[in-house]
C-alpha cells in the first residue's frame, strides 16, 4: 500500500512578546527642572525622568515576560527562499 501524497499550506504568523521591568531612577539635578516654580519649589522634569528610566532599562536587566501573543501575520507571503 502506498502513502497518498500530503499537501500543506505555509501560514505566516506574528509573535509579540511584551516584557516589563522596574527601574529606580535616582532623584538628582539631572532629572529636575532647572528653575524653581513661583513657590520656590523645584519640580521633576518628566521628560528627563522618562529618558533616564528608558536608558536604565536598556542598559540593565531584570526584564520579565508579561505576555505572549501569536496571531496570523496581516501580510501573508511565501517563506524566504521559496520560488513561486
CB 51 within 8 A of CB 23: no
For residue 19, what are the contacts with CB-CB under 8 A and spacing of at least 6?
Answer: 63, 64, 65, 66
* Per-run averaged pLDDT (10 residues), the chain, 84 residues: 88 97 96 95 97 96 95 93 76
Q: What is the pLDDT of residue 2?
A: 86
CB 23 within 8 A of CB 64: no
For residue 59, what are the contacts with CB-CB under 8 A and spacing of at least 6?
Answer: none
> What span, in angstroms and rounded, lies between the C-alpha atoms of 71 and 39?
53
| Domain boundaries, given as residue ranges, for the chain | 25-71
Q: What is the pLDDT of residue 21?
A: 97
Q: What is the pLDDT of residue 15?
A: 98
Q: What is the pLDDT of residue 84?
A: 67
Amino acid at each position: 500500500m502506498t502513502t497518498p501524497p500530503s499537501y500543506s499550506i505555509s501560514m505566516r504568523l506574528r509573535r509579540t512578546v511584551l516584557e516589563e521591568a522596574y527601574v529606580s531612577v535616582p532623584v538628582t539635578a539631572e532629572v529636575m527642572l532647572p528653575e524653581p516654580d513661583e513657590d520656590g519649589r523645584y519640580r521633576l522634569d518628566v521628560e528627563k525622568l522618562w529618558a533616564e528610566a528608558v536608558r536604565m532599562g536598556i542598559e540593565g536587566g531584570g526584564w520579565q515576560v508579561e505576555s505572549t501573543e501569536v496571531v496570523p501575520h496581516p501580510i501573508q507571503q511565501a517563506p524566504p527562499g521559496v520560488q513561486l
